[in-house]
Chains A and B, each alone.
Chain A
Amino acid sequence: DARVTQTPRHKVTEMGQEVTMRCQPILGHNTVFWYRQTMMQGLELLAYFRNRAPLDDSGMPKDRFSAEMPDATLATLKIQPSEPRDSAVYFCASGLDRLSSYNEQFFGPGTRLTVL
């Protein structure tokens, strides 16, 4: 069945290193969302795209985070340089934007990032 896939599932890295997380949205979906989940802050929206164009990335620390969609089947979230406070689970979700209705989001399994 159709699912959102994310790689890697786990990532341990050292402070200062670049981290790239990848997401493959469900085929045919035209919206992609990146979320971060921590115990302290809960679920935070970092950025989202429609038809590969970024609509809002106000939730991201601009100096170190970047999100892109090189093509319709791949979304990436990069952190450079990474810091210990970036340790969290990062979720990707995709959906089909029905302009006259709601956008149901389907979540991937997440990437658990640990920055030492």
Chain B
Amino acid sequence: AQSVTQLGSHVSVSEGALVLLRCNYSSSVPPYLFWYVQYPNQGLQLLLKYTSAATLVKGINGFEAEFKKSETSFHLTKPSAHMSDAAEYFCAVTLGINLFFGTGTRLTVIP
């Protein structure tokens, strides 16, 4: 069975500060991992994905995530937060068709 755990349902950072959103996965075999972002009143948009190629994955809007098998983690980072990054972020895992989503982390950016 696969699952992801997102640590911290709410994260607040100052504008310009580092963004770190945590995601740990559970999977019996190497998984595919995703980060999605949801802006208010919108659907989920793919930020980036890990598909067993490079362990450091770069996505849109300056975000990146690193797959660490030893830590079963896939944390999302951005060096400098922007006001427009305020949204909810979902980590997800799949071995095939289904995506298994975490509970989400709401990011607030303080001016």
Contacts and interface: CB of A to CB of B under 8 A. Distances in A.
B101 A104 contact: no
Interface stretch (B15-23, B59-67, B71-79, B92-100): B92-100
Interface residues of B, number: 20
Contact of B97 (A43, A97, A109, A110): A97
Contact of A43 (B45, B90, B96, B98): B90
A48 interface: yes
B103 interface: yes
B103 A104 contact: no
A103 B94 contact: yes
B14 interface: no
Given A42-B103, A45-B98, A102-B32, A108 B46 contact: no
Contact of B96 (A93, A102, A106, A109): A102
Interface residues of A, number: 25
B99 to A, nearest CB: 6
Candidate in A55, A102, A109, A112 with the most chain B CB atoms within 10 angstroms: A102
B43 A101 contact: no
Interface of A: 4, 31, 33, 42-43, 45, 48, 50, 55-56, 91, 93, 95, 97, 101-110, 112
Interface of B: 32, 34, 36, 41-46, 49, 51, 90, 94, 96-99, 101, 103-104
